[in-house]
Amino acid sequence: MSRPHILVTEKLGPKGLEYLRQYADVDAHDLLPPDELPALMDQYDAVIIRSAHRLTRELLQGHNRLKVVARAGAGVDNVDLEAATEFGIAVINAPGANAIAAAEHTFGLLLAVIRNIVAGDAHVRSGGWDRAAFLGQELYEKRLGIIGLGRVGRQVSRIAHGFRMPVSAYDPFLSADIFEAHDVRQFTRLEDLVAESDILTIHTPKSGPHLDEALLRRLPKGAIVMNVARGGLIDEEALARLLDEGHLAGAGIDVFSHEPPDLNWPLMKRAHVVTTPHLGGSTHEAMVGVGIMTARGVLDALNNQTPPNLVNVPIPDVPEQNLKRLDRAVRILGTIFSRLNPQVASPVVLSLSRAMASSVRPWLRQAALAAFLQDRVDERVNTVNALLVAQRQGITLLVEADHQSDDDPRISLRVEGRNETEVEVSVTEADVVVKKIAGIPVNIPWPERALVTRHHDAPGVVGRVGTLVGQYGINIGQLHLGRRGPQGEALMILTLDTDPPQQLLDDVVQLPDIQEVHVFTQLF
């Protein structure tokens, strides 16, 4: 396989570029002029951006070579996710790589606000020494309210506990045990959290709640507001009014509704407001982490693997190694099932044992569809756009939990109402074991290459196939057999040391009692 060609439009950091260049040809820019990007989109397998470029529907459409786009950072507000999904383009980001940097910056800004550090610095530099004019407050026992207890929010809570601050949070997408694990009081209503926060900080994506004037007025008198998340999450004009009224004591703002902000921006000249130019994730360590995470995700996606930082697919919250094993298992399952069932008129059923966590089901559904459709359609199909392609092809996939099965993590596919079509795999820590093919029990750790026959169970079949394979100079590693019953339909699986030529397959299918033959190579 030739090396992919990747475009990096802004500084990624030397470690990220070094990682990419081990496996790909990379054209890297400190800052590619945005108007030059459209003419380049056709030339690359992947494009990596930061904040200076927007990947719109118009930019993403019509580029058959482009498989992956990445935002080297947490947010993907400047990528049209709907269009990318429609076109089967994987979208990668780097969530959490700069979480510590953003959390520490939150407290840097907060301390600057609450202790009058910026104003005090300017005062000293101008020759002043009026200590009483810059009397500050302590963080100790101030009630901290966090909107969004994700990666950054959790790091903020960790630091706050070091200051002996009681911490509360609002995040409707998390279960109670997450709050308990981080020693954070859970609020189920945003209004209630705001009303009990001496300091309020927001750490959500752009789609998070908007703090309008009504919400801001619920804050206790003298409260401080922080935004090191996304510009536009806070009504900036309302915030300025509440500061002027004295209802709020200060604000720390790193992100703005318009960047860079106009000099007449409502908060620019307010006292007790400290601003920075979107520096939350900007540390040397974070840049290294973002670069490496982005590079790994892009290369995994280009190699048809499922990276944990894939945005436009419902990636389950499982350890990365578990995800890789599941990815391999579902690829094997879907490909075998598709090859053995070329004509599918009824719905296909994806069956999961009770040992499979419910959180993996949305992703498994799309991954199974992608593997099933891969060889059946002419257009690009992958986990990203599998649901859309299946809909266009008129294919329905049903998902069921098989509570009758044992505790092994097993996955199977079958045509609804036809158990004789079922293919089943078991996912172990060591390997992916195929347990059924065409409804016939087998037990084989799936190899890199396999020749599979469906045949009539009769004397001499195994010997004739083995002899023919040997005549082509191909060594058989292992032989596995399965059957429905004596003299009925049977399976033979040969693990081969080298890829068989097409002529061998043509010769095998001509042997007596052979019904069909398939070869599977490098499914993972």
pLDDT of 342 > 80? The answer is yes
- Do 303 and 243 lie in a common domain? no
Shared domain for 326 and 307, answered yes or no, is no
Which of residues 247, 275, 303 is at a domain's end?
275
What pLDDT does 405 receive?
55
Task: Measure the CA–CA gap between 267 and 278, rounded to whole angstroms.
Answer: 15
The verdict on 145 and 251 lying in the same domain is yes
Q: What is the mean pLDDT of the segment spanning 385-395?
A: 90
Please report which confidence band the pLDDT of residue 345 belongs to, taking 50, 70 and 90 as the band edges. confident
Question: So what's the pLDDT on residue 197?
Answer: 98
- CATH number of 401's domain: 3.30.1330.90
| Same-domain pairing of 506 and 385 | no
230 and 105 both lie in a single domain: yes
Domain span at 462: 448-524
Tell me the whole-structure pTM to 2 decimals.
0.75
Identify the band that residue 523 occupies on the pLDDT scale cut at 50, 70 and 90.
low
Instruction: Give the least confident one: 171-180, 338-347, 348-357.
Output: 348-357
pLDDT band at 189 (very low <50, low <70, confident <90, very high): very high
Task: Compute the CA torsion angle 225, 231, 234, 236 (nearest 10 deg).
Answer: 90
CATH number reported for the structural domain that contains residue 151 in this entry: 3.40.50.720
The rounded mean pLDDT for the chain is 93
Do 134 and 239 fall into the same domain?
yes
**Residue 401 to residue 353: CA distance in whole angstroms:** 6
Query: Quick one: 193 and 290 in the same domain?
Result: no
Domain membership of residue 164 (yes or no) is yes
CA distance 440 to 29: 55
DSSP tag of 35: G
What's the whole-number mean pLDDT along residues 449-473?
Answer: 95
**280 falls within a domain:** no
Query: Residue 207: is its pLDDT beyond 60?
Result: yes
Residue range 281-295: mean pLDDT, rounded:
92
C-alpha 450/C-alpha 459 separation (Å) is 22
pLDDT at residue number 398? 93
3-class state of residue 219 by DSSP: coil
Letter for the amino acid at 185?
R
Q: Are residues 342 and 392 in the same domain?
A: yes
Q: For 438-477, where are the alpha helices, taking DSSP H only?
A: 461-471
For residues 177 and 274, what is the distance between their CA atoms, to the nearest angstrom? Answer: 35
Pick the residue with more confidence: 25 or 402?
25
Instruction: Give the model's pLDDT for residue 13.
Output: 85
CATH number at residue 513: 3.30.70.260
Structure tokens at 219: 């804050």
Shared domain check, 479 and 337: no
- What is the average pLDDT across 318-342? 91
Q: What is the residue whose two structure tokens read 């158990």? A: 419
* pLDDT tens by residue, 466-504: 999 999 999 999 999 999 989 899 999 999 999 999 999
Cβ count near 177 (within 10 Å): 9
Instruction: Looking at the structure, tell me whether residues 186 and 268 fall in a common domain.
Output: yes
pLDDT of residue 91 exceeding 90, the answer is yes
* Residues involved in catalysis: 230, 259, 278
Split into its structural domains, the chain has a count of 4
Q: What is the DSSP letter of 50?
A: -
Question: Could you say which of 446, 478, 508 is where a domain stops?
Answer: 446
Statement to judge: residues 397 and 302 lie in one domain: no
3-state SS track over 52-87? CCCECHHHHCCCCCCCEEEECCCCCCCECHHHHHHC
Q: Is the predicted pLDDT of residue 314 greater than 80, yes or no?
A: yes
pLDDT above 80: residue 404: no
Residue 296 lies in a domain: yes
Find out whether the peptide bond into 260 is cis, omega within 30 degrees of 0.
Answer: yes
End residue of a domain, out of 262, 296, 312: 312
Reported confidence tier of residue 318, pLDDT bands at 50, 70, 90: confident
Separation of first and last alpha carbons in the chain: 14
Residue 407 has pLDDT above 70, yes or no: no
Same domain, 457 and 497: yes
CA atoms of 482 and 214, how far apart (whole Å): 69
Report the C-alpha gap between 147 and 153 in whole angstroms: 8
Most confident of the following: 98-107, 347-356, 371-380 = 98-107
In a domain, 169, yes or no: yes
Is residue 281 included in any domain, yes or no? no
pLDDT at 406 over 90: no
pLDDT confidence of 403, banded at 50, 70, 90?
Answer: low
User: What separation in angstroms does the CA of 235 have from each of 202, 258, 515?
Assistant: 13, 12, 70
Judge contact between 147 and 170, C-beta under 8 A.
Answer: yes
Q: Is 187 a residue whose pLDDT tops 80? A: yes
**Residues 261-268, mean pLDDT to the nearest whole number:** 89
pLDDT of amino acid 183: 96
Pairing of strands 25-28, 348-353: unpaired
